[in-house]
Structure 1
Amino acid sequence: MPVFLAVWVLLIGSGVAGTVWYTGQVKAKLTQDIGNQTSKQITAMQQNYDAQLKQMQTQFSGELSKVQGKVDALNELLEFTKDNTNTKTDNSNKLYTQLSEVEKKLAELQKSLDVLK
């Protein structure tokens, strides 16, 4: 009877040890698989983010160039108007107002571009 109990305890003990070992192996495999999937997803998200950021920077650069061209044209027009008038006129005031608005928009676009960087 003691031999039978010893064999029975030995079988139960080896079953528990085998279960613990197998559970550890499955846990390690799942951890590795989840880590691999997570790193792939992070890489894909990073590439997508970089592509979107480059696209937005290109768009903002284009818009800034357009606005800068408008500001330069308005400055030339203002200079021309100043040269052709002796006193301040409504046209001059309108041009200054337009120039001020364009400069504000340019500043906003510059801030947006700085935020993206």
Structure 2
Amino acid sequence: MQPLAESTPIHSRSTAARSRSSVKWFLLFWILMIGLGFYAVYSYTNHLKEQVLSELGTQSQQQLTVLKTDYESRIDVISQQVKDLQNTVQTFNELLTFTKDNANNKTDNSNKLYTQLNEVRKQLAALQKEMDLLK
């Protein structure tokens, strides 16, 4: 039995060496798998991050375009209103000037012309009456 006793320690040494190398390979395999998992998660999050940033950029560009067109249309409306107000103010200034000239003792050429036109109308009316009487 002695030969069996001698073979048992050699056999147990080779089995222990094999089990140690199997454990090393097993641990190495799992460490590699965990590392690949972390790399895959990191790559996927970067991809999602780039995709979200791209979509946000597109959306903000569209919103800026809408705001720009709205702003320009409002500016056009306001500028038209300002022009209308300027015309109204100019008309009121002309009326104020005319009223001021009429209230003043001194008359300018436009008031003289207006007065002359009124006198011509009166004379025409008088001539018309005389012609009617002559008929």
Question: What is the TM-score normalised by the length of structure 1?
Answer: 0.71
Number of positions where the alignment pairs a residue of Structure 1 with one of Structure 2: 87
Match of 2:101 among 83, 103, 115: 83
The code of the aligned residue for 1:26 comes to Y
Aligned pair 1:70/2:106, yes or no? no
Task: State the Cα distance separating 1:86 from its structure 2 match.
Answer: 3.1
Structure with higher Rg: it is 2
- In 2, the alpha carbon distance for the partners of 1:83 and 1:3 equals 117
Q: 2:42 aligns with which of 3, 24, 27?
A: 24
Q: Which runs of 5+ in 1 are unaligned?
A: 88-117
Q: Which has the higher contact order (CA 8 A, sep 6+)?
A: 1
Task: State which of 46, 52, 58 in structure 1 corresponds to 2:70.
Answer: 52
The one-letter amino acid of 2:29's match is L
TM-score in terms of structure 2 length:
0.62
The sequence identity of aligned pairs, in percent, is: 18
Where do 4+ consecutive residues of structure 1 move more than 3 Å? none
Deviation at 1:3, TM superposition (A): 1.1
